[in-house]
Amino acid sequence: MRVVVCVKHVPDIQSARAFGADGLLVRGGDDDTLNELDEDALEAGLRTVEAHPVGEGEPAHDVTVLTVGPAPAVEALRRGIAMGATTAVHVTDPALAGSDALATARVLAAAVRHLDAERPVDLVVLGMAGLDGLTSLVPAALAAELDWVQLTLADRIEVDPAARTLRVRRETSTVVEELQADLPAVVSVTDQAFRARFPAFKGILAARKAPVTVLSVADLGLDPATVGLDGSTTRVVDAAPRPERSGSTVVNGGAETAAALAEFLSQKGFA
């Protein structure tokens, strides 16, 4: 079984994030890290293959971590290898700068097709969002680019390799759904069920020296005009820091607290 997990190297969500003069998110800082929600996706991929021991004479399972981004994004791949991924692929090229969600999905799809030609890919797993943009568009866009079935926001994954089928569980605000589809498929997972494992020290050391396959836009047969800013349908035209909060009122005290809070809310039109 071959599972590809798409991961992203993003600024830490607690860090001060900013856009450069070119309208692009500033990346490559010391606190950039593997997107936390992608750790859940990798855990889902690892559990999926671990649930099916390799039979005699069968090829070993492969969990490939795949990322698109500048040179520092390799650190997300090394984190993935430390967690248990077996191979890593880094698509990097100056032409990719400024790719929005749809252009990124186009690149990921080309990379998945490239990998599928080497060894058939059974499943592509993604986190439900990237914490830098929070669009949640890439999983569906990737499935559309590949023309594969998409099963999004899953909190449980079960694969039947013999039947070539996939079953997932998805919980909405009103119902719990169980969906089934044929492989290959694209799945995104929530952060509710797949608590990521912590890398073992041995895995961390091995990840430092693990080989990473590097691919360019040309390697994937993509026209540079279809990626980056030229291939994107959206771009940032202006950005400004969030203004500081002002005019706050602190309400505390003993027995008078409730009355003071009620008065404050009444003045603001909430009562």
User: What would the 3-class secondary structure string for 156-221 be?
Assistant: EEEEECCCCEEEEEEECCCCEEEEEEECCEEEEECCCCCCCCCCCHHHHHHHHHCCCEEECCCCCC
Confidence label for 26 from pLDDT (cuts 50, 70 and 90): low
Residue 234 pLDDT: 82
Q: Which CATH number fits domain 2-226: 3.90.1170.50, 3.40.50.620, 3.20.20.70, 3.40.640.10?
A: 3.40.50.620
DSSP code at position 233:
S
Q: DSSP for 100-132?
A: -HHHHHHHHHHHHHHHHHHS---EEEEES--TT
For residue 257, pLDDT over 80 is answered with no
Min mean pLDDT across 73-82, 182-191, 246-255 is at 246-255
Helix (H, G, I), strand (E, B), or coil: what is residue 31?
A: coil
The span from the CA of 3 to the CA of 110, in Å, is: 16
Residue 271 pLDDT: 59
pLDDT mean over 191-203: 84
User: Quick one: the chain helix, strand, coil %, rounded to 5?
Assistant: 30, 25, 50
pLDDT mean over 47-76: 92
> Two tokens at 246?
């002002």
Confidence label for 192 from pLDDT (cuts 50, 70 and 90): confident
pLDDT mean over 56-83: 93
Residue 128 pLDDT: 84
Min mean pLDDT across 161-175, 197-211, 252-266 is at 252-266
Beta-bridged to residue 110, according to DSSP, are none
Confidence label for 27 from pLDDT (cuts 50, 70 and 90): low
Residue 254 pLDDT: 62
Percent of the chain having pLDDT more than 90?
56
For residue 40, pLDDT over 90 is answered with yes
pLDDT of 93-151, one tens digit each? Answer: 999 998 999 999 999 999 999 999 999 999 999 998 877 777 889 999 999 999 999 99
For residue 83, pLDDT over 90 is answered with yes
For residue 240, pLDDT over 90 is answered with no
> Two tokens at 77?
């791949």
Residue 22 pLDDT: 64
Residue 86 pLDDT: 95
Nearest Cα to Cα of residue 72 among 28, 127, 10? 28
Residue 29 pLDDT: 61
